[in-house]
Amino acid sequence: MTETFIELSEEVFDATYALVQNHLDPNASWADGEGSGCLFETYGEELDFVRKQDPRTIWTLLDGDDGDLYLASGYHIVNRIGYLISTVPVPCDVGIQVHIPMEKEEEADEANGDGHV
């Protein structure tokens, strides 16, 4: 069976997939407003918790080869930074990706007026 691939913006992801707070680490990152963040680690008790969830509610934060970050539906191991758990499952036979552009070092230098001429 072929999986349908969908790319969402960060805004659409945030509006569609509410996230579970990381109850195991009060200092977890990926916080939305006040309270602890939602990112779960890739080892130990946090990974054990992630692996017990419905696979369709697991999201993997990935380090892309292009220097950007990607949030991919499902449980992935390669290039993983951490995991998020949504309260809404991804539809069956659908793969979702969210591209999260990171400011490149050269862009940061130019924005700060440190670019070379």
For the stretch 61-117, pLDDT in tens is 999 999 999 999 999 999 999 999 999 999 999 999 999 999 876 555 555 565 554
Residue 15, pLDDT > 70, answer yes
CA 114 to CA 13: how far, in whole Å?
A: 34
Contact 61, 81 (CB under 8 A): yes
pTM of the model: 0.85
Q: Which of 7-16, 38-47, 100-109 has the lowest mean pLDDT?
A: 100-109
* β-sheet bridge partners, residue 5: 95
